[in-house]
Structure 1
Amino acid sequence: KVPRTCRNFMALCTGERGRGRFTRVPLHYKGCPFHRIIKGFMAQGGDFSRRNGMGGESIYGERFEDEAAGLSMRHDVPGLLSMANSGPNTNSSQFFITFDEAPHLDGKHVVFGKVVKGMEVVQQMEEVQTDQNDRPARPVSIANSGILRHSQPRAQGPGMFA
């Protein structure tokens, strides 16, 4: 359902695309922080260039367009992965993981995946203390990233990333 969004996320997980044309930093989530955590809502990360929510880059260039199928998916359960954006067609590398349902995001953010293993880690992230700007008081980051290739069950639904 959302092949371009999934391809972008997977390539940023592996780092296979080298350096960004705009940011000049590796297009890779390894070591990338979650710069914003809001209890009961979501954790946002994916800004590997500025590391504060003001940067990032997609594998297609600075930004890429929304995929309609992803906009039609609902934010109705915890553990969904969606693209963070600053308005229509402004997807880059930033994404968020929901802690609860978030219907106010429906139609505004492309849903492209679901956490299928490790929700206990997501729940631990939700409990991290934050400052008045929702920044974690202690670092929360992606230690490493890549693609696991084995025969575990995939997430339900076409286009869902497991």
Structure 2
Amino acid sequence: MSAVELSPTPSSARNPVYFLDMEMSGKAIGRILIEVCANVAPRMAENFHSLIMHHRGFGYKGCSVFQIWNNESITTGDFELQNGRGGYSALEERFFMPDKTGLPAKRGAVGMRRGLQRYDNHGFVGSQFRMVINDVRTFTAIFGFIIDGIEVLDKIGSTGDAHGNPTVSISIKDCGVCGVGTFEKD
């Protein structure tokens, strides 16, 4: 399995595509391409774009993968503490209510991780995001889909222990915008 069918079908508007170059124990393991559905998730798309591009001086480059549920998902994006307890949005509000997209949490989906009680109990999001390994009904705040590199996600998913902790160091070595599509606010 190298590619995941994008669902729902992208709109006629060109959605932005981003790359995450992943590394494990200091060695490159591959690139993940994510198409962000800016047409149905405008706030989450703007936040993700700003964090990918480090527009406000912080973002995803160098973030550790801090949670790996082998049959479910991996979680990253905590640029602040690298452990799932930090990370805020690049928008004016440090945390915000995610767009209601109705996009499915199927294999290859990408969604914002809802905040922990340290921040709120309202379900706000900041910078942390999940990449879904296998279909999950309970995840919301889906804003995009992996369009290439699902095998990299599978490789990362195989390194989690029974408690969801990575057994090796995994991080986003680099990230940015691909040559396909652009984000309208740029």
Compute the TM-score of the two structures, normalised by the length of structure 1.
0.79
The Cα offsets for residues 79-126 of structure 1, whole Å up to 9 and x where unpaired, read as 100110135441000000000100122xxx211000001111011011
Residue in 1 aligned with 2:59? Answer: 28
Q: Quick check: 1:59 aligned with 2:98?
A: no
Residue in 1 aligned with 2:108? Answer: 79
Residue in 2 aligned with 1:2? Answer: 41
Residue in 2 aligned with 1:98? Answer: 132
Residue in 1 aligned with 2:157? Answer: 126
* Number of aligned residues: 138
Residue in 2 aligned with 1:15? Answer: 54
Structure with more of its chain in helix, by fraction:
1
Superposition RMSD in Å? 1.9
Distance (Å, rounded) in 1 between the aligned partners of 2:79 and 2:157 = 21
Higher mean C-alpha deviation, range 54-63 or range 33-42: 54-63
Task: List runs of 5+ in structure 1 lacking aligned partners.
Answer: 19-26
Task: List runs of 5+ in structure 2 lacking aligned partners.
Answer: 1-39, 116-120
User: 3-state DSSP class of the match of 1:134?
Assistant: coil
Shift of 1:52: 0.3
| 8 Å CA contact 1:62, 1:92 repeated in 2 | yes
The higher-RCO structure (CA 8 Å, 6+ apart) is 2
Distance (Å, rounded) in 2 between the aligned partners of 1:124 and 1:146 = 21
Distance (Å, rounded) in 1 between the aligned partners of 2:41 and 2:148 = 21
Distance (Å, rounded) in 1 between the aligned partners of 2:103 and 2:108 = 14
Identity over the aligned pairs, expressed in percent?
A: 25
Shift of 1:133: 3.2
| 8 Å CA contact 2:67, 2:160 repeated in 1 | no
Structure with more of its chain in strand, by fraction:
2
